[in-house]
Chain A
Amino acid sequence: MVILFLLKNIFYIEFKRKEELGLKIIVCIKQVPDTTSVKMNPETNTLIRDGVVSIINPFDTYAIEEGVRLKEKYGGEIIAISMGPPQVEESLRDALSLGVDNTYLLTDIAFAGADTLATGYTLAAGIKKLGGADIIILGRQAMDGDTGQVGPSVGENLGIPHITNVRKIEQIDEDGTIIVERLLEGGYLRLKTKLPVLLTVVKEINEPRLPTIKAKMLARKKEIVSWDSNSLDIETGRIGLTGSPTQVIKIFTPPKTTKGKIYQGNVKTSVTSFLKDIQNAGIQFIKKEDRMKNGTN
């Protein structure tokens, strides 16, 4: 009897919470070439694009998962938005199969060649057209560009604060207060702010689910809304290549250093001669504090 009462209470609270919060969550995703499959042509020093598969930026899968989990916990709606060529539809469909409700693709030749400044501006324009959001989530960086700059840039364009490298969303209260853990060198910060907020997430935050066959089939039937530059309230000088202050002028393969000394054969003698060599090179394996005291190294 008591248990039943408790259960009822718990369910009641859960139910009530969902009703009250109803978050609007927008996840920004990017389609990237799978860098683990990217190979270089050593003769021409160019990327071999053949056979390279396009995937959702792996970091963004954590953003999607976290958005879906927030929706499951607090209720509401989750939207995925992306900027890119029409084939990005594939990635948005993957997002639908992972639990996203609606997807929007900002696609126009005028968006092409955008650097992080123009991308941040364009994505923010898309989000504004959607009426903004309570929480905007991105992966901490894209696998191809590795800049991590678009998140803060979107935040600035929307005039809302951002928190990068979030490893945990602790709680969201009814008054819109959110507490998160944010990774930092040597530990993490606990931060509190008010919604709306933009977060970029690290992979520690969750373990993304895999889509079910059923979800995949349902995703096939859903509509993906496409918006071109005319659909958005934007200054044309600030999008695509024209709106991008940075230009790549040269691409090259990183130089390799030459092979060093190799020790082979008997393990004991290998280790002995290695230690002798490294000592002769002036290396002493002592603690920083001790070294500073001794003034060596």
Chain B
Amino acid sequence: MEPIKVIIDKCIGCELCVKACPYDAIQMINKKAVIDIEKCTLCGACIEPCKFDAIVIYKRSFKGQEVTSYSGICLYAEHRNGRLASVVLEIIGAARKLKEDLNEKISAILLGNGMNPLAEELVSYGVDEVWMIDSPKIGEFAEDVQAELVAEILMEKSPEIFLGGGTIIGRSILPRVAAKLLTGLTADCTELTIDSKNKLLRQTRPAFGGNIMATILCENHRPQMATVRHKVMDEAKKVKSGHKGKIVKFNHIKIPKTKIEVLGFVKEKDITVNLVDADFIVSGGRGLQDPKNFVLIEELARTINGAVGASRAAVDAGWIPYSHQIGLTGRTVKPIVYVACGISGAIQHLAGMKSSDIIVAINNDLNASILDFSQYGIIGDLFEVVPELIKQLKELTGSKK
């Protein structure tokens, strides 16, 4: 990406920038300013004289450079099938808390086709400005194109903070954006706060298999970028009516062609695998002893309208496919109720489920570490407890009907 550029639509060919350039790096070609990148030193002398804001310098904020000109909290509004990704509401929730401390506006970058309803929705959750490119040319999974467009918008608007989802898409696009802007990016944060002294974004995340937490700062580069771990922070609620948001279109940005063609999306056949959206999850671990015993887990899951999860031990043993794995190296979930059957509670598993609303452990070991994280612990042989649980649950629902 060019570090400096002329927004062609805005340039009227007045030549003020040509006069201002001390390095003779700007020429007029067809009445539009063209910058010779070989000669340009990015000194910025042309920015101020241009009355039409047609020249943008990409602020490579190397150490020691001015970072105070950046302002605002921006987020990446990931969406699929015409709906905002649920992580976006979680990020808005986090951004609104940051806003209380920073007192800067919240903006959201929204890229895609037919985006107006989503833009309205973002505003209804408290976003102040939606920075939008609405075009059929932007493919839903064209991550290369989206990364490029995000970088261009960030360059132009200079927000202080930029947040994205810790989703597969977010964690693919944002590192690319950070590499374009030469700024810092912290992956998969579980906590974001503003430092009371220096107003920097304190980004906290697990590392070393969840054994430790690290707090990270990005002091001299902007924007301060982070991806937010899905299903950890609370979703934003709609703001009271009366909140007015602005939709800003970036139609002057040229949309590049994607190098990646989507041939199709294949849905996971087994609905019990859709862990991320499940309200109830029943997981099995090493305590199941045999792959056949997953039938028990499946039956309990069906009884409570839930999905089936598994610990890494069970997956590594080949008892159940990887797509069921919950934990640091699997999926992160935040259901209303998480039932852990025969799972000891290794740090690596806890990292993927400990923000569940309610954790129930079924274990024969009173000292299992999962119990330190559970609201309810049933101590006993899971081969007795689970069938009893199924039986009583069925009786309960039966009696209601």
User: Which A residues are within 8 Å of any B CB, using their own CB?
Assistant: 33, 35-36, 38, 40, 47, 115-117, 120-121, 143-153, 155-157, 161-165, 179, 181, 183-194, 202-204, 237-238, 242, 244-254, 256-264, 267-268, 270-272, 274-275, 277-278, 281, 283, 285-288, 291, 297
Contacts and interface: CB of A to CB of B under 8 A. Distances in A.
Interface of B: 62-63, 141, 144, 147, 167-169, 171-176, 178-180, 182-188, 202, 206-221, 259-268, 274, 276, 279-280, 303-306, 321-322, 328-329, 336-337, 348, 358-360, 366, 371-381, 384-385, 388-389, 392-393, 396
How would you classify the secondary structure of chain B's contact residues: helix, strand, loop or mixed? mixed
Contacts of A144: 207-209
Contacts of A146: 187-188, 206-207, 209, 328
Contacts, number: 253
B106 to A, nearest CB: 23
Contacts of A252: 212-213, 215
Contact of A192 (B261, B329, B374, B396): B261
Contact of A244 (B167, B173, B184, B393): B184
B168 A164 contact: yes
A47 B371 CA distance: 23
Which among A156, A194, A250, A264 has the highest number of chain B CB atoms within 10 Å? A156
A250 B377 CA distance: 33
Nearest to A189: B265
Contacts of A35: 208-209, 211, 348
B183 A245 contact: yes
Contacts of A151: 175
Contacts of A163: 260
23 contacts: A38-B209, A47-B211, A117-B178, A120-B175, A156-B180, A161-B144, A187-B266, A187-B268, A189-B264, A191-B260, A192-B263, A204-B321, A237-B62, A237-B63, A254-B210, A258-B372, A260-B377, A263-B376, A263-B378, A271-B392, A275-B393, A278-B337, A291-B279
Contacts of A153: 175-176, 178-179
Contacts of A121: 179
A152 B208 contact: no
